[in-house]
A and B are shown apart, each in its own frame.
Chain A
Amino acid sequence: MFPLRWWMPFAVFIPSYLLRLIGLATVFGPVEDMYMHVENAFYYTRYGLLGPDNWWTHPAKHIGLRFASVMLGNDILGWRMSGVIMGSVAVVVAALIARRLFRSAYPALLTAVLFALDPLSIAFSRTTFEDTIATCLTLCAILFWLRALEDDRTADWLLCGLSLGIAVACRQYAAIPGVLMLGVTLFVLRRERIGVIARTGLPVLGVAIISYYCWWLPWIARGNTMPDWWHLQYDSLHVQGANFQGFGPALMGMVDPQGWLFRWVGLVLRRPVDGREVVSMMSSDPVIWVFFAPAIAYLIYRSIVRRRPEWMMIGLSFIALYAFFVLANRPIMVYSALSIVPLGCLAVGYAVSRFGPKARWAVLAAAALWGLYLYPLAAGIAVPLQPYAWLLERVHTVGG
């Protein structure tokens, strides 16, 4: 593992931060649903009420958003800044994970470049609240988990549980990598005595559960009971369950140009797509994302060959989260796919690092140039349309 100099995290953080900060004052219009979240945050922190909209959303988001409003201003900048900060920190954490996983500078560098310039990550960091935090904290949990597996320090185990608990409190899908981390940990410790496993695992689980539940304290303190909490969870699952479809419709959706990840097929098939899809295509960055699936497959293959369970955990997390989002009956691009981006970038970073020295630097330069080219579209910054005319025309009008 290459030594970590003091300036390295800043060298990754500052460009990522600037990419997310520039032009932050521009409102995209009705695309954003801040009106809902800001109101909910106010009602929860003032009265302990969940609602009026999205009452099933977890309270961690409300408390975080209210805190951000108090610290940074109850306006569009204050509401967005926490996403900008956490989105930029997530890039640094992803690079640190790559450094620890692959023990080499190149995968860390390519992961940082891909994730920092990923259009979906940039758009999410500027417009959503809880997904960015959940993704950043899930990555923190993975980093602490890797450190704990390697050095077996209690602090790392507990920080892993803490990060994971808060991540799940923001977005429940963060539990998926958590379950996989637990499974891989049990696999690694399979020859240990049960007492050792319990001594390691129970405090981590305890910290995770406490850091998950503590966000409900304002709600409980205002007179709600545990049976109320269970009723709320049941109703919440019932409502959110309606957002999920079966495998059949999900797989059918993939062969359509609107299909996630396979969206590029629409280009190959030369089918017409509408303006909204153009934006989605830019967000999902098919040129980079098309490499995610083969890179994940390669990472899993190498994890078996090299007997690296932590690589397997990254690959399986990607697949499990991918399956979770594919089954959701809502436009995934616009909602929750952010959490798989860093995992895909990690796999691509590793796969490219196995190429020859010249090819991999060319890939790095090409990825950076492509990301910078798409940046104005992702950030909603007004630019001359001409450089994008060819691309938009091909995506928008061909094959009608």
Chain B
Amino acid sequence: MRMRTPRLSKEFWYSVATVAAIILGTFLYLSATRPLADRSLAGTAARALHAIESGVPSEFPNGGAQRFSEALGNNTEMADLFLISDSGLRMPKTRDHVEGALLMFTVANEVWIAHDNKQDRPAASDIAGLSSAIARSAELQDLTSVDASGTLRLDNSDMRAVSLLLTLGQAETEKAEASATQE
């Protein structure tokens, strides 16, 4: 017996065409707005980094690290989100600056805590990220020295290293903000 192919109604094909148009339109719209979404996320990450700076007390360099630690803890999420997203991959310059700013602020916090614990010359190996920060900044390398046992140490007397790390972090934040609008 010959099988007959069922005829699909006109309404069915209209529906299929409408669904196809919606899907196509959506992907065109997403493609068109993706650069804007990337810049928006990058800008939010940069603003969150600015909020970390607000944790530096006005009486700096006096005072403890607590307020800065809190500001750091509360404002890194959007930067982390940007770094793990595809937006971060599509904006390598901004990503580099955001990473740099996060690194400088995180290391500044650790060095500050070490200072609060009466350690003015912490070893690079004792603080996570310090070696990377030193490798990134020539000014920071000027504050390092090698002691008799061959350990690389950072000179943080008078909070010089923390101050420099904060300045470097601020500079990276500003670069990230500028880059987020241009890249």
**A→B interface (CB under 8 Å):** 5-7, 10, 13-14, 17, 21, 24-27, 29-30, 34-36, 38-39, 42, 72-78, 81
Contact = CB atoms under 8 A, between A and B. Distances in A.
B22 A17 contact: yes
Interface residues of B, number: 28
Q: Which 7 A-B pairs have the closest CB atoms?
A: A25-B37, A35-B77, A6-B11, A35-B81, A25-B36, A25-B33, A74-B86
A54 to B, nearest CB: 13
Interface of B: 11-12, 14-15, 18, 22, 26, 29-30, 33-34, 36-38, 40-41, 43-44, 47-48, 77-78, 80-81, 84-87
A309 to B, nearest CB: 33
A46 to B, nearest CB: 12
B37 A76 contact: yes
14 contacts: A7-B14, A10-B18, A25-B33, A25-B34, A26-B36, A27-B37, A27-B44, A29-B78, A36-B77, A42-B84, A73-B34, A74-B85, A75-B34, A78-B86
B80 A75 contact: no
At the interface, is chain B mostly helix, strand, loop or mixed? helix
Contacts of B26: 21, 81
A6 B84 contact: no
A77 B77 contact: no
A45 to B, nearest CB: 13
Contacts of B81: 34-35, 38-39
Contacts of A36: 77
B41 A76 contact: yes
A29 B48 CA distance: 8
Contacts of B36: 25-26
B14 A6 contact: yes
A39 B84 contact: yes
A75 B37 contact: yes
Contacts of B84: 38-39, 42, 74
A39 to B, nearest CB: 7
Nearest to A21: B29
A75 B41 contact: yes
B11 A76 contact: no
Given A10-B18, A35-B81, 17 more contacts: A6-B11, A6-B14, A6-B15, A13-B22, A21-B26, A25-B40, A26-B40, A27-B40, A27-B43, A27-B44, A29-B47, A35-B80, A74-B84, A75-B87, A77-B30, A77-B33, A78-B86
